[in-house]
A = this chain, B = another copy of it.
Amino acid sequence: MVPSLVKLDWIRRVADSGVDIVQVGSFVRGDKVPQMADTDDLFRTLAGESHRALLSALVLNDKGLERALAVGVPLICLGVSASETHSRKNTGMGTDDAQRRIIALALEARQAGRRVQVSVQSAFGCGFEGAIAEDRVRAMVEAYLAAGLTAISLADTAGHAFPAQMQRLVAQVLTLEPAAEVTAHIHDTYGLGMANVYAAMEAGATAIETSFGGLGGCPFTKVAAGNVATEDLVHGLQRAGQRTDINLATLVSVAQDVATHFGRELPGRVQRAGGIKA
């Protein structure tokens, strides 16, 4: 459990570091996931403040959307797993039914004036099912596009992606809709995380979802592992002269505070090694 005040401190610092989007939490049932029980309160507090980053939250169902709209979440993220098994474990519904509901919620959020991102989770493989047919991912992307939803995240929830596959699936979205904004959500379960990040960027993804220190991992996957570390990616980009507007020192210090808070070593490299100074 992370106390709300600690969360707020981390969120505020990251939200002013220069990164574009910060995901604050999920609207899930507080009795089932007590770690997220304060998401409404966090947004109520943050609504009175001004930060550089767009704040987002994950919404899973109609109750969650209601709460997100009530507390003024600017960017609402919704998703469906491409894996039948993973979808049923997460939502009790198969992929098709789940996507119909998610699309309806996304349109409702947009109607309410919110920015919306929709995702295909487990798009690159699933710990339960193994390989996921690329045609299935394509059909789900087409369903989103047909509904006018063009901010699409391809999520490698289980960390199964490899670079050529990442490149192919990201490019496919942009072939279907050149104006789509493609996000890649990348976990580092098997060591390919950062290679997948660069493959996604090369193929035209304009946002990469990472986590500070490399924290995280979906508890409903088979092998939980965190995302690529935000500060490692920013450090890498800045080595190439990109995104020098982001304050790397802030990201590193937050990741170090997170490691201290949890009393364990996080996978992120830069927060351990320190960045390259020259």
Contacts and interface: CB of A to CB of B under 8 A. Distances in A.
Interface of A: 125, 129-131, 160, 162-165, 188-195, 197-199, 223, 225, 228-229, 232-233, 235-236, 239-240, 268-270, 273-278
Nearest to A276: B160
Contacts of A160: 239, 276
Contact of A229 (B191, B228, B277): B191
Nearest to A239: B162
18 contacts: A130-B277, A162-B236, A162-B240, A163-B198, A164-B240, A189-B273, A190-B269, A191-B229, A191-B236, A191-B270, A192-B194, A192-B232, A192-B239, A193-B194, A194-B194, A195-B195, A195-B197, A223-B273
Contacts of A197: 195
Given A162-B240, A164-B240, A268 B235 contact: no
Contacts of A278: 125, 129-131
Number of copies: 2
Given A125-B278, A163-B240, 15 more contacts: A130-B278, A131-B278, A160-B276, A165-B240, A188-B269, A190-B270, A190-B276, A191-B229, A191-B235, A191-B236, A194-B194, A194-B195, A198-B198, A223-B273, A225-B269
A77 to B, nearest CB: 25
A129 B278 CA distance: 8
A190 B225 contact: no
A232 B276 contact: no
A278 B275 CA distance: 37
Contact of A194 (B165, B191, B235, B275): B191
Nearest to A188: B269
Contacts of A125: 276, 278
Given A130-B277, A162-B239, A278-B131, A232 B190 contact: yes
A275 B163 CA distance: 17
A233 B268 CA distance: 19
